[in-house]
Chains A and B, each alone.
Chain A
Amino acid sequence: MIIELDGIRKTYRSGSIEFEALCGIDVGIDEGEFVAVVGPSGSGKSTLMNILGCLDNPTEGSYLLAGEDVSAMSETQLAEVRNKQIGFVFQQFNLLSSLPAWRNVELPLIYAGVPRAERRERAVRALERVGLGDRVDNRPGELSGGQQQRVAVARALVTEPAMILADEPTGNLDSRSTADVLGLLDELHTAGRTIVLITHEHDVAARAGRRLTISDGRVSA
């Protein structure tokens, strides 16, 4: 099992007001699974995703990622876990607008300590894999939304991580681009990667092997 969540709670505190966004999540995800996380807005999907991605700490509960207890790790160790094991795709793309596509894709490789020459080569290969071999030197501003999200997917897969986390990756895309991006995720899944995909849309969720429904901070089905 690549992910084991046990009694995960997350309480947001702003001033004296407390809000429990996750109230006890127990979930296991096997290696190579394609899981869709669905649920109404505000149910805690993104909160869960941030915890899965080691971007945020749970208030309570234990999280084993590939058998290792993440809650005991230092910020530096977490950075390494994010770098080596996880690829992120965000709804807002989160590309650096000043850098050309290949430099965006190469970012995780920089932090992995890959030498410069090899980085460019691998970044270009990842871009070719998402069908953007002819756009490596374009900046995000010169690309369509669908193309930008494909750059983000290339960035997520360039380190060959075991797991890809995608938080509404198609939320800002039209049906054509949505199909492109989902096709890519399908491919990655076929290649053996674990995929966790957050979505609102049922036809998107239908692609996944398993569906995890969250409502009010709990897994409901």
Chain B
Amino acid sequence: MNWLETVRAGLEAVRAHRMRSILTMLGIVIGIASVILTVGFGQGAQQEVQDEIDALGSNLLIVSPGSSTDSGGVRGGFGSATTLTLDDASAIADERVVPDAERVAATTSTSAAVSAGTTNWTTSVVGTTPSWLGVRTRELDSGRFFTQAELEQGADVVVLGPDTATELFAVGNPVGQTVSISGRQLTVIGVLDSSGASSTGTSEDDQAVVPISTAKSLTGSTNSSVSTIYVEATSVETLSAAYQEVQSLLLTRHGVTATDADFSIATQDSLVETANSTNETLTVLLTGVAAISLLVGGVGVMNIMLVSVTERIREIGLRKALGATPRVIGRQFLVEASMLGLAGGVAGVLVGVVGAWVLPAVIDQPVTLSALATGAALATSLALGLGFGVYPASRAARLTPIDALRSE
């Protein structure tokens, strides 16, 4: 009996108990679909963070207040400490002290309501310097960015992110219009181009950028603390030199040692790493849960195959009497179990693909399907069927023909 015949006979047996086969496969279907979706979620989230960080530029240093040791997370330091000041930023901008820095942009950030006519929109109001545009590698969609002169006089001007502009001015060109923030009238002088980060709704495209002096007076703040200093190195190669220079400068200025630094410096790479490690932990956890459900599915296959051996014991006896060897009988049950596993796997992949297509719309989370995960899931389902089919198959193979024939 060759393999083709064995597979054909297996298909017949699976079809003969259609309902039971479907229920048996269900465990595998759920397991495979959840593995594919959890891996997809993990990769989707990773991709999202990656895109956002990529948009930062690869030769950028991000200096935040607060130490990295006590804040832990990527953005934990933001706004939670006031140890960085405008003077720090100007010191870094000094070419003699930090020769490897190309440009420096200090920013403050607060959340505020912006209104245009009767339309209100809450967004983050970023105060910064004219160098911000270049440092953050942003482009303007229309209008212009503010100038050094406007920065020095604290001019009433604002540059809107593309999403913010759309929210506030559904029709017409926002440039030249007036918006009001905290009761103060500001003229829109430009609109930013999209940052290019893949997903919609990232803060990069929804913000109102004003001169930092204007931002200070908007919030009524008299101190000179800033929430982030962006330092652009002259090139990717000089990034680590710039890192050293900025670090030693700030340590000296703040009179602290590296161990109790009151600021932290991140690079694009370090941000990606931190973000990925959090994501990975979650993905591993979820995949573990999915793997357990797969295992349960496998046990289900074994259970049904054992039932099937018992139920078909007379048939097995007859087939042996007619010349079926133990190997042929064993193979028959093994093929049947693998087919249950594989069919469950294929159905699971289908459910996973449909889920990956439907779910992002429902829960607003991207899902990236990976060919590798899908292939691995299919291989796993086949292996599960095979693995859990071995015991029932060997039981069937070992039955002596007379015992099998005689049983009722």
What is the interface of chain A, defined by CB distance below 8 A to chain B? 50, 53, 55-56, 75-76, 79-80, 82-84, 88, 90, 94, 96, 98, 107-108, 110-113, 116, 155
Contact = CB atoms under 8 A, between A and B. Distances in A.
What is the interface of chain A mostly: helix, strand, loop, or mixed? helix
A88 B325 contact: no
B234 to A, nearest CB: 76
Nearest to A110: B1
Interface residues of B, number: 21
Contacts of B318: 94, 96, 107
B321 A82 contact: yes
Contacts of A79: 320, 323-326
Contacts of A111: 1, 319, 322-325, 328
A107 B405 contact: no
B336 to A, nearest CB: 15
A112 B323 contact: yes
Contact of A110 (B5, B315, B400, B405): B5
Contacts of B401: 55-56, 82
B399 to A, nearest CB: 10
Contacts of A94: 314, 318, 321, 405
A16 to B, nearest CB: 20
A113 B1 contact: yes
Contact of A88 (B5, B314, B321, B328): B321
Contacts of B314: 94
Contact of A108 (B5, B322, B402): B322
Given A56-B402, A94-B314, A113-B1, A76 B326 contact: yes
B16 interface: yes
B327 interface: yes
Interface string B394-408: 000000111001000
A55 B404 CA distance: 10
A116 to B, nearest CB: 8
A56 B402 CA distance: 6
A88 B402 contact: no
A196 to B, nearest CB: 15
Interface in B279-322: 314-315, 318-322
Contact of A75 (B2, B16, B325): B325
Contacts of B402: 50, 55-56
Given A55-B401, A55-B402, A82 B326 contact: no
A116 B5 CA distance: 9
Most buried by A among B321, B326, B402: B321
B282 to A, nearest CB: 49
A96 B315 contact: yes
Given A55-B405, A82-B323, 10 more contacts: A56-B402, A76-B325, A76-B327, A82-B321, A82-B322, A108-B322, A108-B323, A110-B1, A111-B325, A112-B323
A94 to B, nearest CB: 5
Nearest to B1: A110
Contacts of B327: 76
B195 to A, nearest CB: 64
B323 A75 contact: no
A107 B322 contact: yes
8 contacts: A55-B400, A55-B401, A56-B400, A56-B401, A75-B325, A76-B325, A79-B320, A82-B322
A155 B315 contact: no
A98 B405 CA distance: 17
B205 to A, nearest CB: 64
B326 A75 contact: yes
Contacts of A110: 1, 5
A73 to B, nearest CB: 12
A31 to B, nearest CB: 21
The 4 lowest CB-CB distance pairs between A and B, nearest first, are A83-B323, A111-B323, A56-B402, A79-B325
Nearest to B326: A75
A56 B322 CA distance: 14
Contacts of B324: 79, 111
A111 B321 CA distance: 11
A98 B17 CA distance: 11
A80 B325 contact: yes
Contacts of A116: 5
Most buried by A among B315, B322, B328: B322
A53 B320 CA distance: 11
Nearest to A85: B323
Contacts of B5: 110, 116
